[in-house]
Amino acid sequence: MQNLAQTLTAQAVNASLADLLLTLADTSKAISQAVRHGALAGVLGATEQENVQGETQKKLDVITNDMLKDALKAAGNVRGIASEEEDYVVEADKDGEYLVCFDPLDGSSNIDINSLVGTIFSVLPAPQGELTEQSFLQKGRNQVAAGYVLYGPSTMMALTTGNGTQFYTLDPKTGEFLLTEEKVAITPDTGEFAINMSNQRFWEAPMQTYIADLVLGKIGPRERAFNMRWIAAMVGDVHRVLCRGGIFTYPTDNKNPNKPFKLRLMYEANPMALLVEQAGGKASTGYETILDIEPQEIHQRVAVILGSANEVDVCLSYHDQDYAGEPEVE
């Protein structure tokens, strides 16, 4: 069974990029230990601080952000860093070849109930010249690597360098990430959906209708039953989609007119969209392909619909602005 370094070599991944991915993997091992110690290490609970998103930071949000930031600044091949927990971009090495965007601990609201959390990361090429926020504002298709580490019953990494999506599992005996699925493939059809139903009354009409039709099951226009799954951590919900298909969405809503979207483009939507596309799925906002979005700022939020290709297409048919009448279904 190949370890991560051997797999990257077999895929002929650029040596510098491989080193960066190994740095991210090594740091995630340390994060996994911090998460597992939980209350024993006094790392649960919230701080008195808010991040740039206006969200109260958990202690582990701050700890894991510092762990990743310190490791990437020391790596020698990272030009700059953008994080959910940082107000501004952070300069690392002026000669670095890459930019790294990350959510250090996705699903941190789950920490205190001992549920799933994870780290999401995106690697972009560093442009020439002075490092600014503009340096990071590249389409998702520019990503040279993307992935996440899921801290669950076992610690797993999903990774793509543009050559499909792979799963690695951390061997607790050797401390190595071992390749456990070489070619992740999302089933094109599904009977599962993931969405925060508590926001239903705030969604746009197309999503309202789409989900209502799923809930109707066999007596509705889809004429078959669907199950709902919701972990409240994007990393967990997307991992399920990669493992057994499904559709995950955090759609546009009008609960807060100033914040119609929940998920961040640069360090959540883009890396997850690349993983999903590389596994044969699709990822959209409902109106445009996520990986084709021109970012406007590093903390930009977007609507997300991703997963099994055929089911995403059905969902998008409800959003077709030229549509009049019943949406097309299979």
Query: CA–CA separation, 287 vs 252, rounded Å?
Result: 11
- Residue 65 backbone phi and psi in degrees, to 5: -60, -45
pTM for this entry: 0.92
- Is the separation of the CB atoms in 233 and 110 below 8 Å? yes
Q: What is the pLDDT of residue 326?
A: 47
109 is known to lie in a ligand binding site: yes
Q: CA distances (Å), 204 to each of 224, 234, 238, in order? A: 24, 21, 23
Measured from the Cβ of residue 31, the count of other Cβ atoms closer than 10 Å reads 23
Does residue 115 carry a pLDDT above 90? no
Q: What is the mean pLDDT of residues 40-50?
A: 53
The DSSP code for 55 is P
Q: 3-class SS at 310?
A: helix
93 is known to lie in a ligand binding site: no
253 is known to lie in a ligand binding site: no
Name the more confident of 325 and 185: 185
The per-residue pLDDT for range 119-171, each reduced to its tens digit, is: 999 999 999 999 999 999 999 999 999 999 999 999 999 999 999 999 999 99
DSSP string, 185-232: ---SS-SEEE--GGGGGGB-HHHHHHHHHHHHGGGSTT-S--EE---S
84 is known to lie in a ligand binding site: yes
- Is the separation of the CB atoms in 233 and 118 below 8 Å? yes
Q: CA distances (Å), 61 to each of 24, 54, 177, 246, in order? A: 16, 14, 23, 28
135 is known to lie in a ligand binding site: no
Does residue 45 carry a pLDDT above 90? no
Written as one letter, the residue type at 89 is V
Does residue 85 carry a pLDDT above 60? yes
The per-residue pLDDT for range 208-241, each reduced to its tens digit, is: 999 999 999 999 999 999 999 999 899 999 999 9
Query: CA–CA separation, 98 vs 16, rounded Å?
Result: 9
Does residue 79 carry a pLDDT above 60? yes
Percentage of the chain lying above the pLDDT 70 cut:
91
Distance, C-alpha 95 to centroid of its chain? 28
Query: CA–CA separation, 300 vs 329, rounded Å?
Result: 32
32 is known to lie in a ligand binding site: no
106 is known to lie in a ligand binding site: yes
- Is the separation of the CB atoms in 295 and 328 below 8 Å? no
Q: Which domains does the chain have, with CATH numbers?
A: 4-181 (3.30.540.10), 192-319 (3.40.190.80)
Question: What stretches of the chain adopt beta strand conformation (E)?
Answer: 46-50, 56-58, 78-83, 90-91, 98-106, 117-125, 145-151, 155-160, 165-171, 176-181, 192-194, 227-228, 247-250, 263-264, 282-284, 301-302, 304-307
Q: Which residues contact 310 (CB under 8 A, 6 or more apart)?
A: 188, 189, 190, 330
Q: What is the pLDDT of residue 323?
A: 47
Q: What is the pLDDT of residue 321?
A: 57
105 is known to lie in a ligand binding site: yes
Q: What is the pLDDT of residue 322?
A: 45
Measured from the Cβ of residue 273, the count of other Cβ atoms closer than 10 Å reads 30
Percentage of the chain lying above the pLDDT 90 cut:
81
